[in-house]
Chains A and B, each alone.
Chain A
Amino acid sequence: MFPPRFRYEAPRSVSEAVSLLRDGGGEAKVLAGGQSLVPLLKLRFASPEVLVDINNLPDLAYHRVGEDGALHIGALCRHVDLERSGLVAAQQPTMAAAAPMIADPIVRTRGTLVGSLCHADPQGDWAAVMVAMGGQVVAQGSNGRRTIALADFVTGPFQNTLAYDELAVEAVVPATRGELRGGFLKLERRVGDFATAGTAVAVELSGDRVVRAGIALSGVGGHTIDARAAADSLTDGVLDGAAIARAADLAAEAAEPRSDHRGSAAYKRHIIHTFVTRILTRVSTTESKAA
């Protein structure tokens, strides 16, 4: 298999990339890690006129904490960079748990977090993590920059709200108010398969009280599910057994699974319940941040 013909452009700056996207008039696609786009090109599910390869913009390879206390992840930060990051390991337990579970180790060499968010696969792992964290995407367009909450960024399967002349330049994980704890669990038939069900949990604690919580689910609906009611049930409370059981019930209710070759709807719902219980129990009983 090989891709259809396209014009290839390799800009040297973000502004040049944005100009190419604008000139492409909706028929241009951005190539970052390419681990979803190149297979789609080969299967002819995508046939853009212009491919704008941003791999020559190494200034976008960063991930760092900004002056605002938020974690900024550039469009060329690869999965493997996050997997091996001391910063992520020390400060971002939900991301640290998810990073080694993205796709497979060789795909992680190339693929990017921002590209994964833009791809908007309903079974995407990073989207669940970022929804649980209250994350955002920063888009650079012809008329400047804007910040889009992830909840508003994805509009449907493989659809996002970027305008045709906008480049997603970074993802942002907001500064925390309390002590951040969390985890990510995914059931997959084998490494590299899409999630049968995945659960991302992030809670911020002040003393023993939850000051913010996020729970998001992947693989159990046509889009990443923000289990808002489950997360809100934890806020301002203590993480005890009753609170954990209530949150797990609400998260399982929020799931919209369908029976398929990966399992029955009831089974997937059960997995979500188990994962939420497991992560929150670890979070509530361990001194360690990772769960």
Chain B
Amino acid sequence: MTSLFEEITSPAASDVPVRRVTITVNGRPRTLDVEPRLLLAHLLRQGLQLTGTHTGCDTTNCGACTVLYDGSPVKSCTMLAVQADGHDVRTVEGLGTASELDPVQEGFKQEHGLQCGFCTPGMMLASRALLDRNDDPTEDEVRFALSGNLCRCTGYQNIVKAVLWAAAKQRGRAPADAGSEAPPDIPPEAGRDAAVDATQGA
């Protein structure tokens, strides 16, 4: 099957109008010619080969394609790529580096917040948006903020724990809080539990 993006990046038929857009993706400006009907999710995945953004339901239900658009979580399967012209987009590839994970990524690792991993990029970006606004959320606030992201494996419990772990880690690190607050409230056994769960294939 030919992707829409391939259709339009190979020399477009003369009757197919394309628009030149410049989108800052993970801090880097990218200039592309796109057909207006191209979805942001397709531009990221096929056009820029950033396949960390997943397309799950393709019907605005599941949130697997969530990215940050000017810092706010959006479903990239429900936005046109042309709408991102001049805007800032952050995907899971821009969340951290292999040597320095975002606290959210670390939390998902420590608390075993994923099983198959398909929903995870969307979960983590929605979590990042929450912690950017509120770095001390209650469990209810975490559940509320993630209620647009579906997971079919975990039952959500460890995802919620992962976000609370990340929040604690983030508070411990925040320069404004340095010295004035106790170290992050991370249960010492968290890492061990995750390892046990993983070996059991839970």
Contact = CB atoms under 8 A, between A and B. Distances in A.
Interface of A: 1-8, 10, 31, 34-35, 38-39, 41-43, 51, 53, 55, 80, 100, 103-107, 109-110, 191-192
28 contacts: A2-B4, A2-B37, A2-B38, A2-B42, A4-B37, A5-B16, A8-B17, A8-B19, A31-B80, A34-B78, A34-B79, A35-B60, A38-B39, A38-B80, A39-B60, A39-B78, A104-B147, A105-B146, A105-B147, A105-B148, A106-B63, A106-B126, A107-B148, A109-B69, A110-B75, A110-B78, A110-B79, A192-B148
Contact of A105 (B35, B38, B73, B78): B73
B61 interface: yes
Nearest to A109: B72
Contacts, number: 89
A52 to B, nearest CB: 12
For the complex of A and B, the 3 pairs showing the least CB-CB separation, nearest first, are A104-B148, A8-B36, A106-B148
A126 B16 CA distance: 38
Contacts of A3: 37, 39, 80
Given A105-B144, A105-B147, 4 more contacts: A5-B35, A31-B80, A34-B83, A38-B60
Contacts of B69: 109
Interface in B63-86: 63, 66, 69, 72-75, 77-80, 82-83
Given A5-B37, A7-B36, A105 B126 contact: yes
B74 A110 contact: yes
Contacts of A55: 83
A103 B60 CA distance: 10
Interface residues of B, number: 34
Instruction: Among A7, A107, A109, find the residue whose CB has the most chain B CB atoms closer than 10 A.
Output: A109
Instruction: Among A2, A31, A51, A110, find the residue whose CB has the most chain B CB atoms closer than 10 A.
Output: A2
A6 B79 contact: no
B151 interface: no
B144 A107 contact: no
B63 A53 contact: no
B110 interface: no
Interface string B1-37: 0001000000000001101000000000000000111
B97 interface: no
Contacts of B63: 104, 106
A42 B79 CA distance: 11
B50 interface: no
B145 interface: yes
Contacts of A1: 58-59
B113 to A, nearest CB: 18
Nearest to A106: B148
B149 interface: yes
A35 B83 contact: no
A199 B175 CA distance: 46
B15 to A, nearest CB: 9
Contacts of A51: 36
Nearest to B149: A106
Nearest to A105: B148
Contacts of B58: 1, 42
Instruction: Among A42, A80, A106, A107, find the residue whose CB has the most chain B CB atoms closer than 10 A.
Output: A106
Contacts of A39: 59-60, 78
Contacts of A109: 69, 72-74
A31 B79 CA distance: 10
A109 B129 CA distance: 11
Contacts of B59: 1, 39, 42-43
A7 B17 CA distance: 8
Contacts of A100: 144
A34 B40 CA distance: 13
Contacts of B82: 8, 10, 53
A39 B77 CA distance: 9
Interface in B32-54: 35-39, 42
A43 B126 CA distance: 26
Nearest to B41: A2
Contacts of B19: 8
Contacts of B78: 34-35, 38-39, 107, 110
